[in-house]
Amino acid sequence: MAKPGTRDRLIKSAERLMARNGISEVSVRRITDDAGANIASVNYHFGGKDELVQEVLTTRFNILDAEMIAGLEELVARAEREKRDYALDEVVGVYLSVLVKLGIDHKRNSLDPFILLIQRASFERDAALRTAQNPQGQGLSLLVTMVAKSSGRPVTMNGDFNLMLSLMFSGAVAMMRAIVSDENTENAARSCRAIEVYVVNGVTAFIENVFPPA
């Protein structure tokens, strides 16, 4: 197997180190040392540390967007085969399942560094987090459309939706932690089901209180 290129090693090292220690605490030199690269390589490949952080997050959000599209389109196709409308709880369930799928490192039985990095970036209010997830991306756009249709409310991509999305993300992280912390798969599955019900009820109440009927 070919050794990953310098650019890929920098992205992987930056993601892991920043997820563990925080974005502001990790220097360019620490990243390049970990990646086995020259200190000038960050500027060469990305333009600087801020741009590297942006690339790390954007790369992962693009993967998330693609998985979201696949999951939501499968839900639409299944509902059409069964000649019914899809429900809000199913739409929310797709979002949660996609995040959980991407958010667990099964080899280490731990949360993937990407999830921890999002939490770090949110806590540090890093500007990269606000721009990395493209609000016009097909996955997010489809999610908004399907939430609106299934809830019967005029849900749009705005500050309120972003707040609701962050609450859904927190629910997904709780599901991930239940999976990695409980060796009993039945207990973990039961916890995940309970969390999903909790999130769905919260999303329903949020929409009813924030997005008035059309």
Condensed to tens digits (0 to 9), the pLDDT of residues 103-146 reads: 998 888 899 998 988 888 887 776 666 666 666 678 889 999 99
Mean pLDDT of 69-74: 97
Question: Which pTM value belongs to this model?
Answer: 0.87
Structural domain contains residue 143 = yes
Structural domain contains residue 10 = no
**pLDDT tens per residue across span 73-108:** 999 999 999 999 999 999 999 999 999 999 998 888
Structural domain contains residue 3 = no
Domain of 68 in residue numbering reads as 56-210
Distance between CA atoms of residues 145 and 80, nearest Å: 17
> Is 150 in contact with 200 (CB distance < 8 Å)?
no
Residues 6+ apart with CB under 8 A from 56: 11, 14, 15, 18, 117
Mean pLDDT of 151-176: 92
Count structural domains, the chain.
1
Structural domain contains residue 90 = yes
Q: Above pLDDT 90, what percent of the chain?
A: 65
Q: Above pLDDT 70, what percent of the chain?
A: 92
Task: Point out which residues pair with 104 in neighbouring strands.
Answer: 111
Structural domain contains residue 46 = no
Cα–Cα separations (whole angstroms), residue 212 to 25, 201, 202, 209: 43, 17, 16, 7
Structural domain contains residue 26 = no
What's the helix, strand, coil split of the chain in %, to 5?
A: 75, 0, 25
Task: Point out which residues pair with 111 in neighbouring strands.
Answer: 104
Structural domain contains residue 32 = no
Structural domain contains residue 6 = no
Cα–Cα–Cα angle for 63, 64, 70, nearest 5°?
95
**pLDDT tens per residue across span 27-49:** 999 999 999 999 999 999 999 99
139 burial via Cβ count (<10 Å: 0-12, 13-18, 19+): buried
